[in-house]
A and B are shown apart, each in its own frame.
Chain A
């Protein structure tokens, strides 16, 4: 971790009021992201990754949602901030790339307009200056003949092209922090790598920090400096990416790793599925949320939730009563 964190999340908890009672979508999440760092957040669907990202932005709807804790973005608190205060941060300090490029663009607005709108509203650029800059941005994200594409409607572009447009719009005001929420989930496998490499390249060119949210460990392995594993709304393991891959302590992390395909495996190797299903957040008990699916669960796991351990010298921390050891891994 670097000296001055760009993003500092402390004890963030997001609870939805539902008909079935309060639903803790995110609980007790703390982490920091320094300048030029890339943090990966991995977890199954429903583990709270997207809610976490939207809460960091302050985009979560306020009605029937309680957010507590603290999110400091380059020094500004976003939890409880008014929309007017947040608007000053959005685009210029922090920007977000959304999961589905098919729905993230306004279908009846030319894509160029969706980029230069940000430039005009947030940076006060004139129409021609914004247009010129938007075309530059389209070129930067690798869109061929950007001047023509400027006038295209989203429906005239492929999914990969649309995601490039979404990225160009998010980066228009060169934010210091980019939140990428499953940026490649909706895309073909061949396009996924292109988009991820593009993000990597832009991160270096624009000196951004990136929070990369995904369910795909293969995506974060080589592209992130740190990794947070989420389960049932909590971070269950955190550390430098190579530490988490090589010396993971939490059985859930191992289960996730085993369920990802690897090139090294011989062909026709069965992928290990994680038994059971993610827990119902409405009926979480006192114990570890993963215990019902965990091969290492002991009596204690079912009655007492393990806290995150004190970080080791490298900052590696995990929440488990029966952590994996060198031998059991």
Chain B
């Protein structure tokens, strides 16, 4: 187990290094010269040479990378040329919103998917299973931007829970009621896609597990169906569930952007789209780096959890 974790950590480190090189070059792949933007009308070859020296752009690429990397590791993502604010502080303000949003949506998705998948697996192709199967397919086929409109109609207008914009967004620490109210809509929207995925993956794995001999053995001991479901069937059936959760949550960091933009939640997605529109390359670079590392770390985390859930995997 320990060997496995160490090996995975080394791999994780390697992936993060590759990501950092990718993000570093990202900015060099972009058209245009930052010096031209900064100098504006004063863009003469002489001024440009001075600026290059000041910014360190005259040094070899490899040296530039290590200087950049050292700054990143010190939490210094640079100062945006456009807004003149620190990229790190912009990200620090936006990131908790995404984390909270994803956490809320995942709690909702798992809380709905696990009991419903168990209910379906108890009688595959039974009445409840068919209803849930059809319902989950319907939800899957509606794109999120339609779901948002429907939810705005139901939650914000009919139920009167306000949906706040970026200017009126309040952090969890300031006023948690207002905060949760403003995140209800996007959390539900994100939860729907995750719910359908988790429900379907867990349902089919539970059905397969319940056919296993050890389930019959557990029944023959006189253990209740409920306990068999939770204690015997759930754990061996949750490997694919956890694997898909890892990929899905990583994807949510990206797909959450649409929801954030549509509902004007000032998270990373909203900030990224604004940064792209404003050609704020340093901010784009910072967000891409943070999100990429986040996706890798989340997947690593779920890999680790899978190993605890199913000890056969790391034993090989």
Contact = CB atoms under 8 A, between A and B. Distances in A.
Given A121-B223, A153-B312, A59 B216 contact: yes
A121 B223 CA distance: 7
Contact of A121 (B217, B220, B227, B312): B227
Contacts of B223: 87, 117-118, 121
B217 A105 contact: yes
Interface string B94-109: 0000000000000000
B310 interface: yes
Contact of A169 (B221, B225, B310, B312): B221
Interface string A61-97: 0000000000000000000000100111111100110
B187 to A, nearest CB: 31
Contacts of B297: none
A107 B222 contact: no
A126 interface: no
A98 interface: yes
Interface stretch (B17-25, B113-121, B229-237): B229-237
A90 B311 contact: no
B33 interface: no
Contact of B222 (A87, A108, A166): A87
B220 A57 contact: yes
A272 interface: no
Contacts of A103: 212-214
A87 B309 CA distance: 28
Given A106-B236, A108-B236, A108-B309, A90 B222 contact: yes
Contact of B312 (A86, A98, A107): A107
Given A108-B236, A109-B235, A155 B311 contact: yes
Contacts of B214: 103-107
Interface in A104-152: 104-109, 117-118, 121-122
Interface string A155-173: 1100000000010011010
B213 A166 contact: no
A104 B217 contact: yes
B212 A91 contact: no
B53 interface: no
A60 B15 CA distance: 52
A100 interface: yes
Given A103-B212, A106-B236, A153-B312, A118 B221 contact: yes
Interface of B: 212-214, 216-225, 227, 231-232, 235-236, 309-312, 315
24 contacts: A59-B220, A83-B225, A87-B224, A88-B222, A89-B222, A90-B220, A91-B220, A91-B221, A96-B220, A98-B213, A103-B212, A103-B213, A103-B214, A104-B217, A105-B217, A106-B236, A108-B310, A109-B231, A117-B231, A118-B222, A118-B223, A121-B222, A121-B224, A156-B315
Given A106-B236, A118-B222, 14 more contacts: A57-B220, A59-B216, A87-B222, A88-B222, A90-B219, A91-B222, A98-B217, A103-B213, A107-B236, A108-B235, A108-B310, A121-B221, A122-B222, A155-B311
